[in-house]
Structure 1
Amino acid sequence: MAESREHTFTGTRGRVTVREWPHDDPRYIALLCHGYGEHIGRYEYVADRLVRHGAAVYGPDHMGHGRSEGERVLIDDYEDVVTDVHTVEERARAEHPGVPVVLIGHSMGGMIAARYAQRYGSGLTALVLSGPVIGEWQVLTELLAYPEPPDTPIDPATLSRDLSVGAAYGEDPLVWHGPFKRRTLEALSSMLDTIRKSGTLGALPTLWIHGEDDQLVPPAGSRIGIEAARGTDFTERIYPAARHEVFNETNKDEVLDDVTTFLTRTLP
C-alpha cells in the first residue's frame, strides 16, 4: 500500500485531521470524502490505486468523525464540512501548483461532494459520486419521525459481499456504532434540500457509481437527485448484486478500473 502521513488544521468547528498519500510528481490531486460514521483510514485501498494511477491523494476525517474533533457524528451544518474540504483542497494546491483536482465522495461523502461541486466546481476537473446520499433517502424520513432516533445499528453484511469488510467495520474503534443524532439528520435533510435548489453540475465531468443491491442507500432514491443535478458530461455505472461500499466490494478492482478510466478521459 502507498505510504501515508497525517496533518491537522483548525476547521470551522475544531481541529480536523487529514490523511495524505503523497506522490512526488502527480498528474492530478484526488480529494476523498468518506461516509457517515466512518473515517478516511478505511480508504487505503482506494488511495493506493489512485496513487499508482498518478494522484496525490488527500482526505479529511469530517468533523465528529475519526481522529477529528467534535462530538461523535454530530454535524449541525454540512456547509461547514464543505468549507473544511475546501481548506484541504487549498493546501493540496499549494503543495502542487497547477495540478488538476478531482473529487471523490462516498455515501454521505457523495452528498458533501455534490454540494462541493455546486460551490467550488469551477476549480474541479472531475467528480465521482459513489452510492451518494442525494435525492430521496427513505431512511432519513423514517428516522426523523422520532423525537430521538432509535439505536438501529448498520448491519455490516449490507456493506459488501466480502463479509470480512463488515467484520472489520464492526471491530473498528474509529467507526461510530451508535444511533444517529437528530441534529445531524436535520442538517442532512437541509443539505439535500439545498442541493435540489442549487442547480445542475453544468459541464463538470461526473461519474455516478452505485451497487444495484445497495440496501443502505438504494439507487432508486439517489437517481432522483442525480437526474436533477447531473450536467452535460455524465456517466453512470450500476454494478449488479453489489452492495453499499462498491470500493470494498468483491469486484472493487473493476470499480476502480472504471474510476481511473473515467479520470484518464477527463484529465487534461
Structure 2
Amino acid sequence: MTSVRHATGHFKNHRGLLLYYQAWRVPQTKAVLVFVHGLGEHSGRYRNPVEYFTERGYTCYAYDHQGHGRSEGQRCYAPTLRSYLKDLKLFLDYVKDHEKGEVLILVGHSLGGQIVLNYGADSGVAVLGVIASSPNVRVFNVPKIKILSAKLGTWIVPRLPLPNDLDPNDLSHDPAVVKAYVTDPLVCRKITIRLAAEILTNQEKMDTLASQFRVPCLLLHGGGDRICDPRGTKEFYERIPLKDKQLKIYEGLYHEIFNEYENQQVFSDMERWIERH
C-alpha cells in the first residue's frame, strides 16, 4: 500500500485573500495531478479520484477557489473569471516550487473544467496536459432574459447572491453523493450576479479559445449530464487544432462522473491517457 502524506495550508492570491489547499504526496511520484473544482463546491469533494491516483503512485494537489470552501472571500463571488485563472497560475507556481522537476497534469471539473480550458489556451502553459471533466462550456437552456439580466445586473448589484438553480439529483445516480452534497456545510448553492455574468460571457468565447488551445488534452463528459451540455464539450474538442487530443462521452452518466458508480472506468481512462504522456 502506498504511503500518502496529507497536508493542508494556505497561499495568498493576487487579491490578498488566503486560499486553502490540500496536498496528498507519495514517495517517488509518477506525476503530480492538480485538481480544480466546480462552482459552489470545494477540494474536499475530490476524495474518489485522489484515493485512486495516490494508490497508484501519483501525488495530488487541490485548492478551494476564492469565495469557496475554506478559502477567504465572499461566497461564490469573483470580480472576473480571469481572477480564478490568476489564482490557478499562482497555485501551479506554488506546486512547482514544492515538486521540482515533476510532471504536472491539470484536472478541472465543471467550472473548474472551464477554467483549465481557458488555461490551456494561454500562452504561458506550464503543465504537460489538461483533463477536463464535464467542463462548463455550455449549459442547458438558459433563458435569454436571464443572460441579459445577469449582464445588466453586474453593473448595478454585482455581489448580489442568487440561487444557482442546480438540482443536486442531477449530480450523480448515487443517492449517497446527493445527500452528502446537500448536507455539506462547505457547499454554497448560490451564485453572485457578477460571477454568473462572467461565466456566461466566457462561454461565448469558447470557439476562439478552442482554436488557440496549445496543450495535450483529454475531455470527459457524462452523456446524461443535465447541467453542462456534452454537445458543447464535443464542439470544443472538434475545434482544437492539435492532434494530441481525446474525447470520451460516458453514456448515461450524470454531471459528476468522478462520483458515479462507474467512476473506476473514468479513472482508468484518465490513467491510461496520463501514462501515454
Q: CA deviation at 1:152?
A: 5.4
Q: 2:227 aligns with which of 200, 211, 216?
A: 216
**Correspondence for 2:156:** none
Q: Distance in 2 between matches of 1:228 and 1:170?
A: 36
Structure 1 residues 116-137: Cα deviation after superposition (integer angstroms, max 9, x where no partner): 1222664221111100012566
Is contact 2:221–2:233 with CA below 8 Å preserved after alignment? Answer: no
Is contact 1:137–1:222 with CA below 8 Å preserved after alignment? Answer: no
Q: Does 1:176 align with 2:179?
A: no
CA 1:48/1:152 → structure 2, altered by over 3 Å: closer, same or farther? closer
CA 1:39/1:142 → structure 2, altered by over 3 Å: closer, same or farther? farther
Q: Distance in 2 between matches of 1:201 and 1:248?
A: 28
Is contact 1:51–1:57 with CA below 8 Å preserved after alignment? Answer: yes
**Correspondence for 2:8:** 6
Is contact 2:29–2:57 with CA below 8 Å preserved after alignment? Answer: yes
Q: Distance in 2 between matches of 1:142 and 1:26?
A: 50
Letter in structure 1 aligned against 2:274:
L
**Correspondence for 1:108:** 111
Fraction of identical pairs, as percent = 27
Q: Distance in 2 between matches of 1:150 and 1:78?
A: 18
**Correspondence for 1:207:** 218
Q: Does 1:67 align with 2:70?
A: yes
Q: Distance in 2 between matches of 1:99 and 1:120?
A: 21
Letter in structure 2 aligned against 1:158:
D
Structure 1 residues 56-93: Cα deviation after superposition (integer angstroms, max 9, x where no partner): 21111001110111110002212121121122211221
Q: Distance in 2 between matches of 1:248 and 1:47?
A: 12
User: Normalised by the size of structure 1, how large is the TM-score?
Assistant: 0.90
Alignment of 1:1-268 (within 5 A): 2-13=4-15, 14-119=17-122, 122-135=125-138, 138-139=141-142, 143-146=146-149, 151=163, 153-178=165-190, 180-198=191-209, 199-202=211-214, 204-229=215-240, 231-266=242-277
CA 1:22/1:210 → structure 2, altered by over 3 Å: closer, same or farther? same
- SS of structure 2 residue aligned to 1:119: coil
Q: Distance in 2 between matches of 1:63 and 1:230?
A: 32
Q: CA deviation at 1:232?
A: 1.6
Q: Distance in 1 between matches of 2:162 and 2:72?
A: 24
Q: Distance in 2 between matches of 1:225 and 1:186?
A: 20
CA 1:256/1:151 → structure 2, altered by over 3 Å: closer, same or farther? same
Is contact 1:46–1:256 with CA below 8 Å preserved after alignment? Answer: yes
Q: Distance in 2 between matches of 1:123 and 1:140?
A: 37
User: Normalised by the size of structure 2, how large is the TM-score?
Assistant: 0.88
Q: Distance in 1 between matches of 2:229 and 2:138?
A: 11
**After TM superposition, where is structure 1 displaced by more than 6 Å over at least 4 residues in a row?**
none
Q: CA deviation at 1:208?
A: 0.9
| Count of aligned positions | 264
CA 1:154/1:190 → structure 2, altered by over 3 Å: closer, same or farther? closer
